[in-house]
Structures are given as structure tokens and as C-alpha cells.
Structure 1
């Protein structure tokens, strides 16, 4: 059974809670602060943010004010996709480190293999330089693990070919009907944990009738079924919510989806076809 305190083990032995609390699209200030504070209050111990979210200072404040020992909270942030130089990577990490103000980061990710305004463009050479800087940040002891986000198999192979330290995590878009099997298979073969962002397709799958019918069978919400699906496939979901009720409900995943139903879910067509899809992954 999975709870917010159960963990996966990264390739370097660091333990990471199986459910994360995502903060994408949560505005800085009271909304971000209260969302993270509520998440920690109800038991989450894994908080995910990014420099691009512009809420790191609010997230860090909520963590510091929580009264929870720093070592008991796993915190992730990310390097902007636009940053594609060695020096820029070091500078952006310094800015994130200062904004969060929480002594150290547990995980730092390269947010994307390309600038978001140039999705799909090739930055292989630049990403090798970025990864060189990521390794230096890791060696500094200010972060306990490093990885990437939105990297497909080619992007992973590109940074791994000369890497001294391989990525430990790849955070990708993943939900029922959009499971990116090529990336997931490669990652698992190379001991890279896959994290699922938008595991509810930013709400897009909540009205899917087939998923809703299966959720009813288990007496759980569609969101709970979708998150449990990620965990039973060996992934780490990062649900985002701002309401206290949804924050609480998204962590109640102490049930098991039967094998035959997992097969059905794994073979479903896209459950949110109108949702944004990262065409470079698929």
C-alpha cells in the first residue's frame, strides 16, 4: 500500500517519497504558501517546485514555517529550460538556493531539453554543458540528487554518454492513456526513476467515463484511481491542488487496483485527448 511516507530509492541510495505535491500554476504569495502548508500539515513530505513557477520563495517559507525537521521533507526544484550554458546553470541554481532558503535541495532537475519557446529544437551540445554544471552542483553537497524533466530517450542518451553521474530522475508528462512507454522503458532499464507530472492531465481525465466507472468500482475518486495507477506502474505522481479537500484526498491511496484493471488502464486510449501533449515525447 502506498502512502505519502512510503519511498522509492534513487540510484544513489537517496529515498524519495512516492507521492509528491506539485506547485505548477500555483501563484506566489498566500496561495502557494497556504497550499504547501496544508500539504505538509496533512502528511505530504515531498514538495515539487521550479524557478519557472516563480513561487520558490513562498514554497520555502511554508517549509521553514512548518515546524517539520528539514531532513523529513523532500524538496525538488528545476533549472529553467531556457538556461543552456554551464555558467547560467550555476547562476540559476544559486538563485533557486537563495529563494528557497532551506539549507539544501533534495533534487534538482533540468526542466526541459529545450527552451519552452522552442519545443523540439536540438540543444544536444548545450545540454552536455548544462549537465556538467549539474554534476558540479551535486558534488558541492547542496543538492542530494540530480535529474532531468521532459527528456526523451535521445535526450537522456545525449547527456549520459559522457556523464560521470547519470540522471537519477526523469519527470515527464504521464497519465492514463498517455504513458510514454519508450521513455519509461529506457529509464527503468537505466535505473532512472520516472516522475509523472500532470497525472490527472491537469483535470482533463476527471470526466472520462471509463476511468470514472472503474473508480466507482473501487469506491475512490477518479483522481485517486489515476494516481494509484501511476504508483502501481512504478512511477511517482505529482498531483497539484489548492483546495484543502483535494490536497487531502489526493494522498489517500491505500488501495490496490487489480491486475486485470491495471491491464485495462494501461491499454486505454488517451483519456484526455484535448489536453496539451508534449509532441517530442509520446
Structure 2
């Protein structure tokens, strides 16, 4: 039975990883359609609230509902979890406000600066093709290969990577937020908001994940050993921080479907169109 929910994503976006994680954790059956960064706008245009990803499209034609942002998708997924203790947003109003405040902070400050810092290093590395096109249909990847010099320049400018000192300023913001999380965890609490895993932890882990490259990340990221030297040294340092270790622990212990829903739903699927072998041959010819 086909799912009537489609998650539209692009590249290695940490916001898409956040949405994907929440849906999978709650056992929501959906189909993920991945697109090449920039080209994804052809598929999100007309869905409302800009052309960014992720977007969760539910239903069809006149009955279609579109969730536009990752926090909306998290709240939708949370409604599918029966056990209150497992929900990402606690029922207690004060705790819920605290969780949402941290989620907002990570969404608006951590995510953009992690993305900018990473792309400042990687956009003109060989791995950028895989980052920008992973999981997309074959035809899109072919166009992505042809247009890669243009796509790199568009993304570089759109993320303000071309501004003087952009990489250094973004790293300062990221390190400051990691230090804040270090200080929160210093009192021995297991999670950012206290004794339970919440949307604050999921958001911090998903958006901060590219800084420490957890093996369980839901999109392909280059290994630290494959990154430029300066970038790799920074990532290794952040990995050793309490906040970095928190991300690695969260991915190791929480990046899975809740046991209560494991047997109740169909698995999610990523629509990749079976092109990997063909594209590898095509890319080998370009070397």
C-alpha cells in the first residue's frame, strides 16, 4: 500500500535530516523524494512558504496539506506517539516552552552557521557533487554534473560564503552554541532540557551533526579523514567536547524507531530510481 505522504528533501540538508528522523522515530509511513540542491526548487515551487526543504506533502490535489518547516513536521510526527514520555514536546507548559525556545535557537542560529561553515570548505572539493546530488533521480544527477560549476556558485553566494570572514564568523557562532550546551550538561543532566529526550536534543544533534560526523547520520557526509585539514582538526576538537559527545551519544541511542511502533507501520522508503551503478560509470568516464 503506497503512502500518501511525501517528504521532499535536498542534498545533505540537516533540516531534512531533522524531519526524516522525527517521522521515522514516530513510525510515520512516508516516501522520501530527494532532489539536487537548487534544482529542488522546481519541485517545491507552488507548495507555499518559499522553496526550501524539507516539505511534507500529505494527500493529493484539492485535499493536499503541506507542512512547510521542520518544526511543523516534528509536531505532526509527535502526535503519532501515544506514550507522553516518548514525545518530543512535553505536556508540561513550562517545559514545552523551554524545549521550543532551544529548538528555535538551534534552527535560527546553529543550523545556518553549520551549513555555511561546512560549505565554505566543501563546495569546491570533489565530494561536493555527492553532497549536493545524493539520492536524486538519475536525470537530475546528470544535469547536476553538467551544471555543477554553476550550482556551486549559486549555493556559495546564497549562503553568503563569499562574504569576507564568513567561515570564521560562522565557526565562532557554532563554537559559542556548543559551549552553551557544554555548560548545560555540566550539571550531569542527560539531555539539554533535563531528564528526557526532547525536540531540543533532536534539533541540536541533527543540525550540529555535520560538525562531528556521527556514523548514524541519515544523509551521506564525508568522513572527517576526507575533509580538508583545518576543517578536520576543528571537527575532531568539537567531537571531544561535551556537546559533541552528546550529539554522538544521541545518534547512537536515539536515531531509531520507537519500539512501540516498530511492528505497526510500513517502513519508510527513499525513492532513488536505482541509478547508482550507472552514475558511477558515468562519473568514471569524466575522470
Larger Rg: 2
The structure richer in strand per residue is 1
Same topology, TM > 0.5: no
TM-score, structure 1 normalization: 0.29
* TM-score (structure 2 length as normaliser): 0.28
More helix by percentage: 2
